[in-house]
Amino acid sequence: MNNLNNKKILLIICGGIAAYKSLEMIRLLKKEGVTIKTILTKSGAKFVTPLSITSLSQSKVYQDLFSIEDEAEMDHISLSRWADLILIAPATANTISKLANGNSDDLASTVALASNKKIFIAPAMNVRMWNHQSTKQNIDKLKTYDYRLIGPEIGDMACGEYGEGKMIEPKEIKNELENYFESLKIKNKLKAIVTAGPTNEYIDPIRFITNKSSGKQGYEIAKSLSKKGFDTTLISGPTNLEINNDINLIKIETAEEMFQATLNSLPADVAVFSAAVGDYKLNKTSTIKIKKQDKLNIELEKNVDILNYVSNHNVLRPRLVVGFAAETNNLENYANEKLNEKNCDWIIANDVSNKKIGFESDFNEVSIFYKNKKTDKIKYKPKSEISDELVEKIINHLN
């Protein structure tokens, strides 16, 4: 189903060589039935012309904040209210800085700051500009203001350098906008819980037992669920990862804390237990630092089994319970064994003995084991793409 048909999008085109991509952006959106109005900044007009934009959008191009003609036809406040969303593509470092710091010295920044609609930004700039600390701080600010970032990607640049900062392709931006409008249809109707990362089980106040889980796959699953409109809660062990503001993030350390956070987040339609929860904890944790000694005997006991508890709960069990199995050998046997023992609906298993995938890697390769004895395999690819495929399977299952 076309989620863009009859939508109204205000496109802001800033200066930069990537401005030429905005013409393809307009063409793709018009093809989907979108009504487009465009603001072209003074710098943007150095790269694309109002005539070329009007020819594709079949709509007037707005340029001047102090234009009597423009303000008489549609003032800048009305322009921001007219749209279903605002897309800034390309978004230059200068424009990003303006928005992050509340400056409004032209039509584009004034409309954006006056808007009450979701704003998407597709950055485009030199790799060193993108990696500069001031740009990073401005991006972080915009995220807290609920701006949605699309890209940038890594690639060759017009200046001859290579790196991150290249504007993402218009087709990918269109897909992000489609996902956003699809998410509005089911927002707050379907609830998802994702656990991610490792847990820390303390020996004393400064030492603990943990594992190598980075949390990357779980974070990507939470992002994919949220992107598709699920009201998503991410319960995360200690990681250095960032997550979107529209995801409810609960940070924990121990397995017991993760267990309590999970119970407090239920009921839900879907629960994806991707965290690498420690199997054991200390029978007794020292309240003071243990001094160095020749031998240290510690007694371990089993931790709470969160997946097993939720899967077998008569009241709180979600419609779909998904567990993870990170194995170094006998993957198929152990995955099926876990599927039956825990009474979950799916087990997603991966071979973490392969250092190219799984723990700490940005890539993965997984096998999905279902209750009906069927299996699927998602071959080697970025964890973000694996997450998108998994969420499509989740949606199909719920439907």
Burial tier of 217 (Cβ tally within 10 Å: 0-12, 13-18, 19+): buried
Short-list 182, 127, 187, 117, CA closest to 151: 127
Q: DSSP letters along 42-91, please?
A: TTGGGTS-HHHHHHHH-SPEE--TT-HHHHHHS-HHHHHHH-SEEEEEEE
Short-list 25, 42, 140, 30, CA closest to 88: 25
241 contact partners, CB below 8 Å, separation of at least 6: 197, 214, 215, 216, 219
Cα–Cα distances (Å) from 215 to 10, 97, 158, 387, in that order, read: 36, 31, 35, 13
Secondary structure letter of residue 290 according to DSSP: P
Whether the CB-CB separation of 363 and 383 falls below 8 Å is answered with: yes
> What angle do the packed helices 93-101 and 107-114 form, to 10 degrees?
40
d(CA 307, CA 320): 12
The DSSP bridge partners found for residue 302 are: 280
Q: Identify whether 170 is preceded by a cis peptide bond (ω within 30 of 0).
A: no
The DSSP bridge partners found for residue 235 are: 195, 250
Strands 61-62 and 35-40: parallel
Distance of CA 111 to the CA centre of its chain: 26
98 torsion bin: left (phi>0), alpha (psi -120 to 50), beta (else): alpha
As annotated, the active-site residues are 159
Whether the CB-CB separation of 73 and 47 falls below 8 Å is answered with: no
